[in-house]
Chain A
Amino acid sequence: MGLFSKKKRGNFPSYWEEYEALFQKKQTENLQEVRFVVLDTETTGFDYNKDRILSIGALTLQHKKIKVAESFSAYLEQEVHSKETVKIHGIRKEGRKDTIPEEEALQKFLAFLGNAVIIAHHALFDIHMINAALDRLHLPDLKNRYLDTSSLYKKTRLRSNLIQQQESYTLDELADMFNISKKDRHTALGDAYITAIAFLKILAKLREKREVTLKWLLK
């Protein structure tokens, strides 16, 4: 945090301080050992200002393993709602009893996330959405490094002038391509799981062509 940053240091709640402190230490650059958190959010829409996060699902991926017990799922209390997106994720306004306030959810999420490298499909969207929520709490942006499975997948495709590259690939397309069951599509944790498996398979594909390091992936 520089001297001229918008948000000055200090006066942050302890959970933020703890989260931030984790980034002081140097993190491992070993692709096997680094802790990844694969995440997905379900939202009321695509507008970072107007729309809200309805749920966050995340799981830990380390040593090519996913521990089912080490996963995160939270449903958020929100005033904003949209009829359109209810059709997609099926979260109705008063539909769930286990919702928690946004701040509580973010606090728990930050604790879970720590200094892991984030993996998400169209990662910037989820990160922007979370940053917007942090902003409402007058907190700075997430500090984690991230990987986007959508752009990583593109790296596995051959490049040729005659083959048109798709601009981007949806999670559904990835699931089809890699034979991953789409059973819990559009629940945050379900999508996070599909993303995690897709990531592992993309990694294997990339390895066929070249040596893959964390540094190269993050580039």
Chain B
Amino acid sequence: MQNTISERVADFLENFPPFNALEKSKLDKLSQEVSIAYHEKGGLVFSEDETPHDFFYIVHEGAIALRKIANNEIVDICDEGDIFGLRPLMAHENYKLEARAHEESILYGIPIAIFKPYAKENEEVGNFLIESFASNTRNPYSKVHRGKLYGNENAQNINPEVKLLDLQPVSYSKKVVSCTPGTSMKKVAETMTKHRIGSILVLENELPIGVITDKDLRNKIVTGLFSIDSPASEIMSHPVITYPRKMTVTQAQMAMMKSNISHLVLTHDGTPHTKAVGILSKHDVMVSLGDNPAVLVKAIKRAKKYKQIKPLRKSIQHLLQGYLDQNIPMGLIAKILSELNDTCIKQVIAISLQKMKRPPPVKFAWLSMGSQGRSEQMLHTDQDNALLFEDVAESQKAKVTKYFLTLAKHVTHGLHVIGFDYCPAEMMASNPKWCLSLQEWKDKVSHWITNPGPDEVLMSSIFFDYNVSYGDKEVVNTLSEHIFQCTETYPIFFLHLASGALQNPSPTGFFRQFLVEQDGAHKDFFDLKRRALMPLIDAARVLILSHSVKGIGNTWERYEKLAELEPKNSELFLACSYATKALLKFRTKQGLLHHDSGRYIALEKLNKEERIKLKRTFKTIKEIQELLSVRFQVSNLLR
């Protein structure tokens, strides 16, 4: 019987091959027999060498990783609309790969018994299957034959998570510097030096007739073959090889290899008979080829929909992995990563603003709190944010608040789409409590500072790490000033903040053994965030606030500043700075390895060296906690 659920399934299936080729009546029939399965992240769909199910699968939501167990390598990642697990059913063989949910996923299981006759009858469907098996790709109609559907012997070199940049349009220098055929080489060299370029275009009647590169200068002039007064026409390489400006990185690379040249001239229509619009060097191609922050920023800024940003965030993770592999300093990695994350957030806000009917009625600022606020967010985590807007007349307030709440709802939804989970404590600007006018925020923080109960201290510790992601910095500065004024008047607040910072559980026990979680889903795991990172982060916050230093959000930078302010403690503070970076790196590596937040660590999986490294940071944690406790006389307070 057809029902709303089978309609829902059919509506989805008809968008993807091979189902788009089925007749409506058959699609409906098939949809009624579908089995909808939910898999938690990491959940097993089928294991290697398992006898095939009665179903093959199409990903409705989430992503499934196909893995070869022998080398634990991800062979392919299937996203929304991709089918997998079909060939074993057709070939009557066991599964060759293991399939696990890479993210939380919903799969539609298509019963092979019903599908098979349809595939035999319908030529288009049959062809799709034959082609997909023959080419070994999941979807032979897709433009990109990325990844392979089924594992085989030579599937080992495939990079699972797409290098999507190969097919991105090239970015070329649009400012074309040129000379005429009659220009003397001396002049040409001067022009190139002035513009700091390695190649120059020779134009005649605005049309490109040749190119001169650094290499020509070296080979033809410096060797004395030609005098430096010879005209450009005698030196230039010609005829020019021209290409249209819309070409992909891969095309450009191939063009260069084919003609054995290092510079391509791009013209309006791709022939030498139209105006030159740019010049593309081998270097430009190299830059585009690697996962490269500049290219990613550009791509993010081009996004017009939230959805387009999601795959770019995946590339960011690649970049991160690459940086870690190359052992680039954590401080630098964090800077680049938070810059990229910030760009994503900014773009989401820009898209959200487009969705609003009117421009914002007054100036506002979007604040990122927590780890993103501190520029320490490496992996995908929850979103913590707040919105602050200029004070308005009382009569306008309800209307203005409503505007910003609506905007915030769009933004938090957008952030959710690109992979920031909703904050379980609802510390988000879409919550009316975190979307306030300047005066309301002032009142709120004053209240926290003058009534520092445990909750107020917790709130302040999250909120006070804010950082402006978007909007007006002036409004935010006013709020920061206010916070410092308040804390100066109520220094007792630091005592409470310090005591809050000391309440994180200790990382090691009496016998210096690691303390692990006692129950819950992470039983016997070590909580790296709560037991090691948070104590350092919290301590840095209290100390830097007590020095009234603003504008430094980052924990290790806070410690570096503290070392400068208190030379007698500089050794400890520098140790803290180092420990924070080390722990964050540790967490990031663990997170990437296990595709999670990296917060909980299975100690038995660590090698000896890693354990020692970890334990070494604990000594520093203990010392900084002692310093806090003495300085703010926390022992006087009932804990």
Contacts and interface: CB of A to CB of B under 8 A. Distances in A.
Nearest to A67: B35
A197 interface: yes
B416 A179 contact: yes
B38 interface: yes
A64 interface: yes
B571 interface: no
B6 interface: yes
A161 B455 contact: yes
Nearest to B9: A68
Contact of A210 (B1, B3, B426, B520): B520
Contacts of B106: 197
Interface string B400-428: 00000000000001001100001011110
B455 A190 contact: no
Contacts of B416: 179
Contact of A197 (B38, B426, B459): B38
A30 B36 CA distance: 20
A66 B519 contact: no
Interface in A28-81: 57, 59, 64-69, 71, 73
Interface stretch (B26-34, B118-126, B140-148): B26-34
B602 to A, nearest CB: 16
A176 B106 CA distance: 16
A104 to B, nearest CB: 16
B8 A64 contact: no
Nearest to B416: A179
Interface stretch (A106-114, A130-138, A200-208): A200-208
Contacts of B6: 68
A186 B39 CA distance: 26
Interface string B444-459: 0000000000011011
B4 to A, nearest CB: 4
Interface stretch (A15-23, A141-149, A152-160): A152-160
Contacts of B104: 201, 204
Contact of B38 (A64, A73, A183): A64
Contact of A68 (B5, B413, B425): B5
A211 interface: yes
Contact of A65 (B5, B36, B459): B36
Interface string B32-70: 111111111100000000000000000001000000000
B7 interface: yes
A89 B521 CA distance: 40
A84 B425 CA distance: 36
A208 to B, nearest CB: 5
B452 to A, nearest CB: 12
Contacts of B36: 65-68
B4 A187 contact: yes
Contacts of A65: 35-38, 109
B521 A211 contact: yes
Given A160-B458, A162-B459, A211-B520, A193 B5 contact: yes
Given A71-B3, A177-B422, A204-B104, A162 B37 contact: no
A160 B455 contact: yes
Contact of A64 (B1, B37, B459, B519): B37
Interface in A173-214: 176-177, 179, 181, 183-184, 187, 189-190, 193, 197, 200-201, 204, 207-211
Contact of A157 (B424, B519, B521): B424
Quick one: which of A59, A68, A158, A200 has the most chain B CB within 10 A? A68
A115 to B, nearest CB: 22
A163 interface: yes
A71 B5 contact: yes
Contacts of B34: 67-68
B196 to A, nearest CB: 49
A205 to B, nearest CB: 8
Contacts of B5: 59, 66, 68, 71, 189-190, 193
Contact of A209 (B1, B40, B520): B520
A207 B459 CA distance: 26
Contacts of A71: 3, 5
A43 B575 CA distance: 66
A15 B8 CA distance: 32
A163 B519 contact: no
A210 B38 contact: no
A123 B153 CA distance: 53
Nearest to B413: A176
Contacts of A200: 38
Contact of A208 (B31, B109, B458, B521): B521
A68 B5 CA distance: 7
A211 to B, nearest CB: 7
B8 A193 contact: yes
A209 B425 contact: no
B521 A204 contact: no
Contacts of A163: 425-427, 433
Interface string B1-21: 101111111010000000000
B37 A68 contact: no
Contacts of B31: 68
Contacts of A158: 424-425
Contacts of A193: 4-5, 8
A105 to B, nearest CB: 15
Given A67-B35, A197-B106, A208-B521, A160 B425 contact: yes
Contact of A207 (B1, B40, B109, B424): B40
A156 B458 CA distance: 20
B35 A66 contact: yes
Contacts of A183: 8, 11
B637 to A, nearest CB: 19
A190 B4 contact: yes
A210 B521 contact: yes
A6 B11 CA distance: 49
Contacts of A201: 38, 104
A209 B7 CA distance: 35
Nearest to B423: A158
Contact of B32 (A69, A160, A177, A204): A69
A178 B397 CA distance: 31
Contacts of B417: 179
Given A179-B416, A201-B38, 7 more contacts: A64-B37, A68-B32, A69-B32, A162-B458, A162-B459, A163-B425, A209-B521
Closest 3 A/B residue pairs (Cβ): A200-B38, A66-B36, A158-B425
29 contacts: A64-B37, A64-B38, A64-B39, A65-B35, A65-B38, A66-B5, A68-B3, A68-B33, A68-B34, A68-B36, A73-B3, A156-B424, A160-B455, A162-B455, A162-B459, A163-B426, A164-B433, A184-B7, A189-B4, A190-B4, A190-B5, A193-B8, A201-B38, A201-B104, A207-B40, A208-B521, A209-B520, A210-B519, A210-B520
Interface of B: 1, 3-9, 11, 31-41, 61, 104, 106, 109, 413, 416-417, 422, 424-427, 433, 455-456, 458-459, 519-521
